[in-house]
């Protein structure tokens, strides 16, 4: 049974469709990267899963329980970290965590131990007596994660956990998320920092204009986006003639000439199923008198996959 599942999940605001029949399945222990432009429906989905927003129709389930109908059983299972946390004037970090631990009905010696444990996990012990409002954005992000870990939820919903952070703070948050995944948490991360999602997540979903464009393993999205093998070739001169020669090679489906730092570069796409040995291309050019300067195969990453599979549409 999936840990998280949505079935035709839809949310409308008047004529505006924020989510359109979203179907999503996330297994226990998965780290799922939720990708999409602003306004695509990522936060709406997280708020529905966090039982903060009612869908117009459709259904969402967490740990087999229906969001909306079984919220009292769902809330102890989830921890939701929004993009921004509210201000708490004159409250220090230790008081903040003790307050929320009490809200989770954790008291006495158990509360002391739980607060101490999450401070250790998030490396915030040395900030125990610092005012919450005086923390840096990175520290506030870590404190938000510490807060939702107090009741040891099995599912974490993280909305842009690394947005607005400096490089060091992003690395620290990334390492914390890796540790949470090692602990067996099921995690949904909405983020625009795609190269970090590729490192953290084993599955991803691309959402655009409220609809899921792709959902599955990171390796699957790379294969789907590759659309053939892309190779960049630079010759010393006569780039146009070299491009014409390559365009006649069976298995090459596309040939373009672009400028790379002012130097003409030939970009070719090879049909991955054509059987054309890419290693033969240099000898073909050399045999026709061309002097090859460089040849490099393009590596498809999560950023290029996102750009190739989406159109930049929002609801």
Q: For residue range 211-245, list pLDDT tens digits in order.
A: 888 888 876 776 666 556 788 999 998 999 999 99
SS3 122: coil
Q: For residue range 129-162, list pLDDT tens digits in order.
A: 999 988 888 889 899 999 999 999 999 999 988 7
Q: Which of 95-104, 140-149, 196-205, 301-310 has the lowest mean pLDDT?
A: 301-310
Q: What are the angstrom distances between the C-alpha of 155 and each of 74, 147, 240, 247?
A: 10, 14, 55, 51
CA dihedral 168, 174, 178, 180 (to 10 degrees): 100
Q: Which residues lie below 8 Å from residue 172, measured CB to CB, with a gap of 6+? A: 123, 138, 142
pLDDT at 96: 94
Are residues 18 and 211 in contact, defined by beta-carbon separation less than 8 angstroms? no
Q: For residue range 97-113, list pLDDT tens digits in order.
A: 999 999 999 999 999 99
Using CA atoms, how far apart are residues 79 and 150, in angstroms rounded to an integer? 9
| Residue 106 CB coordination number (10 Å) | 18
pLDDT at 309: 64
Entry field: residues in the chain: 315
The single-letter DSSP state of residue 92 is: B
The domains located in the chain, with CATH, are 4-90+142-224 (3.40.50.300), 227-307 (3.30.70.100)
Q: Which two tokens stand for residue 20?
A: 């359109």
pLDDT at 84: 79
Gyration radius of the chain over CA positions: 25
**Residue-wise DSSP of 231-266:** EEEEESS-HHHHHHHHHTSTTEEEEEEEEETTEEEE
pLDDT at 89: 72
Using CA atoms, how far apart are residues 288 and 293, in angstroms rounded to an integer? 15
Share of the chain above pLDDT 90, in %: 54
SS3 61: strand
Confidence label for 194 from pLDDT (cuts 50, 70 and 90): confident
Are residues 195 and 303 in contact, defined by beta-carbon separation less than 8 angstroms? yes
Share of the chain above pLDDT 70, in %: 90
What's the chain's average pLDDT? 87
pLDDT at 313: 46
Confidence label for 91 from pLDDT (cuts 50, 70 and 90): very high
Confidence label for 4 from pLDDT (cuts 50, 70 and 90): very high
Residue 312 confidence (pLDDT) above 70: no
Residue 262 confidence (pLDDT) above 90: no
Using CA atoms, how far apart are residues 30 and 3, in angstroms rounded to an integer? 9
Are residues 31 and 4 in contact, defined by beta-carbon separation less than 8 angstroms? no
Q: Which residues lie below 8 Å from residue 238, measured CB to CB, with a gap of 6+? A: 290
Confidence label for 208 from pLDDT (cuts 50, 70 and 90): confident
Q: Which two tokens stand for residue 70?
A: 């079984």
Using CA atoms, how far apart are residues 298 and 68, in angstroms rounded to an integer? 46
């Amino acid at each position: 049974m999936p840990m998280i599942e949505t079935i035709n999940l839809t949310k409308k605001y008047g004529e505006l469709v924020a989510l359109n029949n979203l179907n999503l399945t996330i297994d226990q222990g998965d780290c799922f990267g939720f990708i999409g432009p602003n306004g695509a429906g990522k936060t709406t989905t997280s708020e529905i899963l966090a039982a903060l927003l009612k869908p117009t129709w459709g259904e969402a389930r967490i740990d087999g329980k229906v969001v909306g109908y079984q919220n009292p059983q769902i809330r102890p299972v989830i921890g939701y970290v929004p993009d921004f946390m509210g201000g708490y004037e004159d409250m220090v970090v230790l008081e903040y965590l003790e307050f929320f631990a009490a809200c989770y009905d954790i008291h006495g010696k158990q509360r002391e131990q739980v607060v101490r444990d999450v401070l250790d996990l998030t490396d915030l012990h040395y900030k125990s007596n610092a005012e919450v409002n005086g923390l840096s954005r990175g520290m506030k992000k870590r404190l938000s994660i510490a807060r939702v870990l107090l009741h040891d939820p099995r599912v974490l919903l993280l909305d842009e956990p690394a947005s607005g952070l400096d490089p060091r703070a992003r690395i620290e948050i990334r390492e914390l998320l890796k540790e949470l995944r090692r602990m067996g948490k099921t995690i949904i991360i909405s983020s625009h920092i795609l190269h970090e999602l590729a490192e953290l997540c084993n599955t991803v979903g691309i959402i655009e204009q409220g609809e899921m464009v792709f959902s599955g393993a990171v390796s699957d999205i790379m294969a789907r986006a590759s659309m053939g093998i892309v190779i960049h070739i630079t010759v010393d001169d006569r780039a146009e003639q070299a491009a014409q020669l390559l365009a006649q090679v069976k298995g090459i489906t596309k040939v373009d000439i672009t400028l790379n730092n002012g130097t003409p570069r030939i970009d070719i796409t090879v049909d991955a199923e054509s059987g054309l040995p890419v290693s033969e291309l240099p000898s073909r050019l050399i045999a026709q008198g061309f002097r090859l300067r460089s040849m490099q195969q393009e590596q498809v990453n999560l950023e290029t996959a996102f750009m190739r599979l989406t159109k930049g549409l929002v609801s």
